[in-house]
Amino acid sequence: MIIYVDADACPVKDIIIKEARVKNIAVVMVTSFSHFSNKDNPEGVKTIYVDNGAEAADYRIMKLAKNKDIIVTQDYGLASLGLAKGCTILHHKGFTYTNENIDQLLQTRYLSAMARKSGKRTKGPKPFTVEDQEKFRVLFKETLDQKLAN
């Protein structure tokens, strides 16, 4: 099992690294070259840089991910593809993407895009809170425990 992180805008990277190290699970951060850093990765963490294109990180994650891996992303399209591959997909706000909720999430995204295209204003995502961070931490730890028990 490997944890793949759609890392460009992920606010929970530190939690992922800390908890994965405790469980001795490899983490792969996939990010665009515009976020390049000379900083050394912690042990067990690898960074893969991709072009700045809109879907470049998603494509690389899907190329690498295998059944039973974990993907952390806020991208519904990537989540949908990961589910089809048998991966566990987590959102940084502390929920799991499932076959039961992904269609509704994609539909909502589509309707919002159509509204914006027609000139309407839509609400953006709510700010990331300390409560969201803690909700993710709990979900992530539970997910790791479940995956390691199986």
Full DSSP string of 106-117: HHHHHHHHHHHH
Torsion of CA 19, 22, 28, 31, to 10 degrees: 40
The mean pLDDT value for 117-142 works out to: 89
Global pTM exceeds 0.95: no
Range of the structural domain that residue 132 is part of: 2-149
By CB neighbour count within 10 A (0-12 exposed, 13-18 middle, 19+ buried), where does 142 fall? Answer: exposed
Q: What domain count does the chain have? A: 1
Res. 84 pLDDT band, cuts 50 70 90 = very high
Q: Taking the mean position of all CA atoms in its chain, how far away is CA 19? A: 15
The pLDDT value given to residue 73: 96
Domain of 39: which CATH number?
3.40.50
Mean pLDDT over the full length of the chain: 91
Residue 4 has pLDDT above 90, yes or no: yes
The mean pLDDT value for 7-22 works out to: 95
| Structure-token pair, residue 118 | 């027609």
The pLDDT value given to residue 44: 93
Instruction: Give Dmax (Cα) for the chain.
Output: 50
The pLDDT value given to residue 13: 96
